């Protein structure tokens, strides 16, 4: 896919996420890793609903801005996830309400933030890690993500929001949407002892769709 098309894709998905209320104001950011090792990433203080393809930040392989507006302050977040998830070609970070709410609950397991409630959660997300709170833009979050050793494509930042990697931007967006919907289901059913997927049902999904799950989530 050409760089021009990738820029247009970032804008189209960004607008869709914004218009559905999944990330308010100028929150959230999107990046795509390019074949030359550089990135396209949304600018700082930019609303995902009103992106200009020509102003998308372009970084070289060393992270230096080569064109476009100044990039999001969350570069350390993206960089660490690309570094540890070798297959990742796109990352979506949002401030969607149900994921943020989930990240604030005391019972959430840092190694398995959501139970396997639906097949598409397992298929698109696998499992989700929860990291402690870091100030937005704090470079220390990169070390926390590296500590996950690339086992998770979906990560929740406490009191902040999800960060999701995919092998395409479409895959990252779809997984982020699935994560948000599953968080919503969890909050709706909290305290009601809902029936989730059994270990056998999860194992069937893993085998059928070749899903890699961290050992702690099975």
List Cβ neighbours of 2 (8 Å cut-off, separation of 6 or more): none
Is pLDDT of 203 > 60?
Answer: yes
Rounded CA-CA distance 180/170 in Å is 15
pLDDT, residue 216, reads 60
Q: Distance between CA atoms of 41 and 153, rounded to whole angstroms?
A: 18
Residue 196 above 80 pLDDT?
A: yes
Alpha carbon dihedral 158, 161, 165, 171, in 10-degree steps, equals 140
pLDDT tens for each residue of 128-183: 999 999 999 999 999 999 999 999 999 999 999 999 999 999 999 999 999 999 99
pLDDT of residue 217: 55
Active site residues: 120
Q: What confidence tens digit (pLDDT) does each residue in 11-69 have?
A: 999 999 999 999 999 999 999 999 999 999 999 999 999 999 999 999 999 999 999 99
Helices and strands, counts by H and E, the chain:
7, 8
CA distances to 37, 75, 133, 140, 211 from 126, in Å: 26, 24, 23, 25, 7
Domain boundaries, the chain: 3-212
In the CATH hierarchy, which top-level class contains the domain 3-212?
alpha beta
Residues 20 and 112: their CA atoms lie apart, in Å, by: 27
Record the pTM: 0.96
């Amino acid at each position: 896919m050409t760089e021009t098309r990738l820029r247009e894709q970032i804008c189209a998905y960004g607008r869709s996420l914004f218009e559905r209320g999944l990330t308010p104001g100028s929150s959230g950011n999107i990046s795509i890793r390019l074949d030359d090792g550089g990135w396209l990433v949304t600018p700082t203080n930019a609303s995902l609903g009103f992106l200009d393809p020509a102003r998308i930040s372009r970084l070289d392989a060393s992270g230096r801005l080569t064109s476009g507006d100044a990039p999001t302050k969350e570069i350390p977040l993206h960089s660490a996830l690309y570094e540890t998830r070798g297959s990742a070609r796109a990352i979506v970070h949002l401030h969607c309400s149900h994921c943020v709410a989930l990240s604030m609950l005391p019972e959430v397991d840092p190694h398995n933030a959501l139970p396997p409630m639906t097949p598409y959660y397992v298929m698109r997300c696998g499992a989700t890690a929860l990291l402690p709170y870091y100030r937005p833009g704090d470079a220390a979050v990169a070390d926390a993500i590296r500590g996950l050793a690339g086992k998770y494509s979906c990560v929740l930042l406490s009191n902040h929001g999800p960060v999701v990697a995919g092998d395409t931007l479409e895959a990252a967006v779809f997984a982020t949407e699935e994560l948000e919907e599953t968080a919503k289901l969890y909050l709706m059913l909290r305290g009601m002892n809902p029936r989730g997927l059994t270990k056998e049902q999860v194992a069937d999904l893993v085998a059928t769709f070749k899903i890699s799950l961290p050992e702690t989530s099975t």
